[in-house]
């Protein structure tokens, strides 16, 4: 009996030794291998998401506002804003700039974007830019007002989402934690009442 116990303990020690030895060797071999290169995938066509488009609009409009306020023309300001950002909004305006490079008129392209864009804020921005180009209005004031309105719209949307998430977080509290707390409070008194009747 003692011989069997000694044999199983030796077998367990040998198994443990080899398992630890292999894991340290594999870790060392993994460390000695050349590092893997990490490539960032660039999206050629971004998918539409209304919340992400709403989150991109204030930043894109701010870049456009700064460039226009610095004295750039609308086309060069759009080029600068598109080159500094990525996502749905910059993709839509990049398409407009590409068409302008191929001979289209900026105002017509902005009007097409205003009619075809999926985001209402992109439509609003394109409409305002097209009207400002048509009327010759000051773009700096227009963009400043648009940045403020888009920022307030983003803030309101984020508050709505936060309210929904807060309601979702209350479900486990009401249906799991609160009943368990009530059970812990009532169980000792019910046990005392039941034992007093016996």
**Domain segments of the chain: what residues?**
50-157
pLDDT of residue 3: 66
pTM above the 0.75 mark?
Answer: no
pLDDT of residue 92: 92
The domain made up of 50-157 is a member of CATH 3.50.4: no
Residue 140 CB neighbours (<10 A): 14
Whole-angstrom Cα Rg for the chain: 32
pLDDT of residue 48: 65
pLDDT of residue 195: 82
Write out residues in the chain with pLDDT < 50, as ranges: 39, 42, 44
């Amino acid at each position: 009996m003692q011989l069997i116990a000694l044999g199983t303990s030796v077998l367990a020690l040998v198994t443990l030794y080899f398992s630890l030895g292999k894991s340290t060797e594999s870790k060392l071999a993994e460390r000695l291998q050349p590092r893997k290169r990490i490539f960032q995938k660039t999206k050629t066509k971004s998918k539409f998401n209304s919340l992400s488009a709403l989150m991109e609009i204030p930043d894109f409009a701010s870049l456009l506002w700064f460039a226009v306020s610095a004295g750039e023309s609308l086309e060069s300001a759009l080029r600068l804003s598109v080159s500094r950002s990525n996502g749905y909004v910059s993709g839509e305006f990049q398409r407009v700039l590409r068409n302008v490079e191929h001979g289209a008129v900026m105002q017509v392209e902005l009007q097409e974007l205003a009619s075809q864009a999926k985001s209402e804020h992109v439509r609003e921005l394109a409409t305002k830019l097209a009207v400002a180009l048509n009327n010759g209005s000051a773009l700096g004031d227009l963009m400043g007002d648009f940045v403020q309105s888009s920022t307030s719209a983003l803030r309101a949307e984020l508050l709505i989402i936060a309210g929904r998430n807060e309601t979702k977080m209350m479900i486990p509290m009401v249906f799991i934690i609160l009943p368990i707390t009530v059970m812990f409070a009532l169980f000792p008194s019910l046990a005392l009442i039941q034992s007093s009747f016996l």
